[in-house]
RNA sequence: GGGUCGUUAGCUCAGCCGGUAGAGCAGCGGACUUUUAAUCCGUUGGUCGCCAGUUCGAUCCUGGCACGACCUACCA
């Protein structure tokens, strides 16, 4: 390590300089970064196993344990000290005194800093207030922390820093640790739910030569060796349905999608999507399936199907409401008559009056959907399936048998947000080809989110896609619901931010 | 993209009518053998986001820029 080769460090301060000096001193006598200490317990295990024992029981049958973790609190009192050590499972208090470690170890401890990573061996005991603690006999500094931690009581409050330096947020904020623990369990519960039902988990390409499966602007990149344009996927849908053609009749994928669009409290450019497909089922089956899955996941992860979101309660155990687009509009805005909602001229005038963006080529269904999006979507707090999506905005969904202008499709709204989108799949290759043509026309006309014509996908359909039901669920938004998080950035470990400095 | 608000010590935050800054925590030194956000005494630490302008003088007023948060629009 030569000073000359190191990049200039701009944020050096007195505290860091002092800690660096301590590290330099340690280097002179010891290995400053030893990797020989092995713990034999996590802190939470110690509480589980031994907290029920009394002070006397612990003294009669001494238990020797080794733990390791980051020192987050420190209280020095002359010839004895207390320190709180945090590991992945929780915290435990160390008692360090000249009597049990000898004076030199305790003296060294006094120079350890908050944030340092320690390994400790000692005997379990209870303090006079009854707190399970470790009476330390051996103490080692495992990793010197050069930078001071955020304020020990308030933790890290600055939102930007919480996102940019998530590790600091995780060290100091138990709520943050809990959110990501729940996120992990949600994904695990979903995976188990599918595996139990004989679904096969698959991974399909993240880089597409033709971005498809959704209406969104893609990120584009380039493959040098092949000298070809590639797009980060906006959805896995068309690949998953190719697998169903191939005979994988129940498949699911939990993975990232990338959309080159706005960033908000509900949108991150890369987000996690569950998509699943099951042959020989339809969209009504999916709605039942979704109700069961969400109730199962909530029960499994939170232990209850009654979740609290931003001060209101949501019950995931009862069947969700099912409303058509116009029924939903009328439920919240009873002044709209059925005649008005089916009158193209009325809808256009109304949308213009409300200053709502509309596509002039839209039919009645598209116009109804625009009105719904603007006036009603955000009011759907209770879990609600919206059905009867117009075919013109559903280029991959099967037409309804009795009304070809609408599709066998639903979207699920909870807490005013779209959580899921599912439908009976369009498996008529000729209809699909015609719909791609329409999308391609729209794209030529300037709609940057319209779909490309995917000839290989049509070829796959021509081999025969069995009647199939398929659905996508936004995992981040589901985790927001289950962790009562107001922003998607709170459930993504490293949300997208502008570049620093 | 539009609007509102914010940026002061490593962290959490004060800072009145414009006179170049304070507290707590953390750090350093000292006291203290059951503390628990330990306590007590002493003490170091600041380009007040950046750049202009107004002014004798700007953390404070004005303009611009950067970054962020929230709301809003497109999208999941």
A488 CB less than 7 Å from any atom of strand B: yes
**Residues contacting A98, CB < 8 A, separation 6+:** A79, A80, A106
Q: Identify the pLDDT of residue A499.
A: 77
Q: How far is the CA of A98 from the C1' of B29 (A)?
A: 21
Residue A8: pLDDT over 50: no
Please check whether residue A142 is in contact with residue A37, taking contact to mean a CB–CB distance below 8 angstroms.
yes
- Position with higher pLDDT, A189 vs A164: A189
Instruction: Label the pairing between strands A220-223 and A117-126.
Output: unpaired
Of A413, A407, A349, A348, give the one whose Cα is nearest residue A376: A413
Band the pLDDT of A11: cuts 50, 70, 90. low
Interatomic CA distance for residues A418 and A262, integer angstroms: 16
Over residues A378-394, the pLDDT tens digits come to 889 999 999 999 998 89
pLDDT at A157: 87
pLDDT tens for A332-380 read 889 899 999 999 888 888 888 887 877 777 888 888 998 898 888 888 9
- Report how far residue A387's alpha carbon sits from residue A366's, in angstroms, rounded to the nearest whole number: 13
CA of A132 to C1' of B27 (A): 30
- Confirm whether any atom of chain B, the nucleic acid strand, is less than 7 Å from CB of A421: yes
Asked whether the predicted pLDDT for residue A41 surpasses 60, the reply is yes
Average pLDDT of every residue of chain A: 92
pLDDT given at position A351 = 85
ipTM, 2 dp: 0.88
Nearest residue to A412 via CA among A311, A300, A283, A500:
A283
Query: What pLDDT is stored for residue A3 in this prediction?
Result: 32
Nearest by Cα to A344 from A326, A329, A327, A366 = A366
In tens, the pLDDT along A476-488 reads: 999 999 999 989 9
Angle (CA) A206-A211-A213 rounded to 5° is 90
Q: How far apart are CA A75 and CA A196, in angstroms?
A: 51
**CB atoms closer than 10 angstroms to residue A464:** 9
- Give the whole-number percent of chain A exceeding pLDDT 70: 97
Q: Is the pLDDT of residue A500 over 80?
A: no
Structure-block tokens of residue A54: 């009394």
Q: Give the mean pLDDT of A48-76.
A: 96
CA distances from A144 to A107, A113, A249, A470 (A): 16, 8, 54, 52
Alpha-carbon distances of A266 from A130, A273, A313, A408, rounded to whole Å: 45, 14, 20, 27
**Region A44-71: what's the mean pLDDT?**
96
Give the integer Cα–Cα distance in Å for A395 and A439.
8
Q: Are strands A250-258 and A200-201 parallel, antiparallel or unpaired?
A: parallel
Answer yes or no: is A77 CB < 7 A from strand B. yes
Using the structure, give the distance in angstroms from the CA atom of A71 to the C1' atom of B72, rounded to a whole number: 44
Question: Tell me, what DSSP letter sits at residue A449?
Answer: T
Is the per-residue pLDDT at A7 higher than 60? no
State which residues between 280 and 309 of chain A bring their CB within 7 Å of strand B: none
Is residue A27 predicted with pLDDT exceeding 70?
Answer: yes
Taking the C-alpha atoms of residue A306 and residue A294, their distance in angstroms, rounded to an integer, is 11
Would you state the structure tokens that stand for residue A39, as one six-digit string? 């713990």
d(Cα A434, Cα A429) in Å, to the nearest integer? Answer: 9
Which residue from A438, A405, A409 is spatially nearest to A421, judged by alpha carbons?
A409
In angstroms, how far apart are the furthest CA atoms of chain A?
Answer: 89
Residues in chain A: 501
Q: Note the pLDDT tens digit of each residue in A203-255.
A: 999 999 999 899 888 999 999 999 999 999 999 999 999 999 999 999 999 99
Segment A162-177 shows an average pLDDT of 92
Q: Render pLDDT for A434-465 as a digit per residue (tens, 0 to 9).
A: 999 999 888 888 777 889 999 999 999 999 99
The string of pLDDT tens digits covering residues A291-345 is 999 999 999 999 999 999 888 899 999 999 999 999 999 998 898 999 999 998 8
pLDDT at A165 over 70: yes
Tokens of A286: 């999916």
Query: What are the angstrom distances between the C-alpha of A460 and each of A151, A211, A281, A432?
Result: 59, 16, 19, 11
Between residue 20 and residue 39 of chain A, the positions with Cβ below 7 Å from nucleic chain B are 22
- If DSSP states are collapsed to H, E and C, what string results for A370-431? HHHHHHCHHHCCCCEEEECCEHHHCCCECECCCCCCEECEEEEEECCEEEEEEEEECCCHHH
Say whether the CB atom of A79 is under 7 angstroms from strand B.
yes
A90: pLDDT strictly greater than 50: yes
Element (H, E) at A484: none
Which nucleotide's C1' is closest to A495 (Cα)?
B68
CA→C1' distance for A297 and B38 (Å): 43
Alpha carbon distance A154, A88 (integer Å):
20
Region label for A174, one of left (φ > 0), alpha (ψ between -120 and 50) or beta (otherwise): alpha
What are the tokens at A41? 């317990």
Chain A residues 115 to 144 with C-beta below 7 Å from nucleic strand B: 125, 127-129, 131, 133, 135
> Which nucleotides in chain B have some atom under 7 angstroms from a protein Cβ?
1, 9-13, 24-29, 31-39, 44-45, 66-76
Q: Is residue A4's pLDDT more than 90? A: no
Confidence of residue A501 (pLDDT cuts 50, 70, 90): low
Cα–Cα dist A235/A239, whole Å = 9
């Amino acid at each position: 390590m030569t000073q000359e080769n190191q990049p200039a460090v701009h944020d050096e301060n007195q505290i860091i300089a002092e800690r660096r000096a301590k590290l330099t001193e340690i280097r002179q006598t010891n290995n400053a970064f030893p990797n020989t200490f092995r713990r034999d317990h996590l802190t939470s295990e110690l509480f589980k196993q031994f907290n029920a024992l009394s002070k006397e029981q612990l003294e009669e049958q001494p238990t020797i344990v080794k733990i390791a973790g980051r020192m987050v609190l420190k209280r020095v009192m002359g010839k004895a000290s207390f320190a709180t050590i945090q590991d992945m499972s929780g915290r435990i208090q160390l008692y360090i005194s000249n009597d049990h470690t000898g004076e030199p170890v305790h003296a060294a401890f006094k120079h350890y800093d908050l944030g340092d990573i320690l390994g400790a061996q000692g005997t379990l005991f209870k303090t006079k207030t009854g707190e399970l603690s470790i009476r330390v006999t051996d103490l080692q500094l495992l990793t010197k922390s050069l930078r001071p931690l955020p304020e020990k009581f308030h933790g890290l409050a600055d939102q930007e820093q919480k996102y940019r330096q998530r590790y600091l947020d995780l060290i100091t904020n138990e709520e943050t640790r809990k959110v990501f623990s729940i996120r992990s369990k949600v994904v695990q519960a979903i995976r188990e739910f599918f595996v139990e039902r004989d679904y096969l988990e698959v991974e399909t390409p993240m880089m597409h030569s033709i971005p498809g499966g959704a209406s969104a602007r893609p990120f584009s990149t380039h493959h040098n060796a092949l000298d070809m344009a590639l797009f980060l996927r906006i959805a896995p849908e068309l690949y998953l349905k190719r697998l169903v053609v191939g005979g994988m009749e129940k498949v699911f994928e939990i993975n990232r999608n990338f959309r080159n669009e706005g960033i908000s409290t509900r949108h991150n450019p890369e987000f996690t999507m569950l998509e699943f497909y099951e042959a020989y089922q339809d969209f009504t089956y999916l709605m039942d399936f979704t109700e069961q899955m969400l109730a199962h996941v909530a029960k499994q992860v939170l232990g209850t199907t009654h979740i609290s979101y931003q001060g209101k309660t949501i019950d995931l155990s009862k069947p969700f409401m099912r409303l058509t687009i116009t029924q939903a509009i009328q439920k919240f805005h009873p002044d709209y008559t059925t005649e008005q909602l089916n009158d193209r001229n009325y809808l256009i005038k109304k949308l213009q009056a409300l200053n709502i963006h509309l596509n002039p080529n839209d039919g009645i269904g598209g116009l109804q959907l625009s009105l719904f999006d603007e006036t009603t979507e955000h009011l759907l707090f209770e879990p609600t399936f919206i059905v009867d999506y117009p075919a013109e905005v559903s280029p991959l969904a099967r037409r309804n048998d009795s009304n070809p202008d609408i599709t066998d499709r639903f979207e699920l709204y909870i807490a005013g947000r779209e959580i899921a989108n599912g439908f009976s799949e369009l498996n008529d290759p000729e209809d699909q080809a015609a719909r791609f043509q329409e999308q391609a026309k729209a794209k030529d006309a300037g709609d940057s989110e319209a779909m490309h014509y995917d000839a290989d996908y049509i070829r796959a359909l021509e081999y025969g896609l069995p009647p199939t039901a398929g659905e996508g669920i936004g995992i981040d938004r589901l985790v927001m619901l289950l962790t009562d998080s107001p922003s998607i950035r709170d459930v993504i470990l490293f949300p997208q931010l502008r570049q620093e400095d």
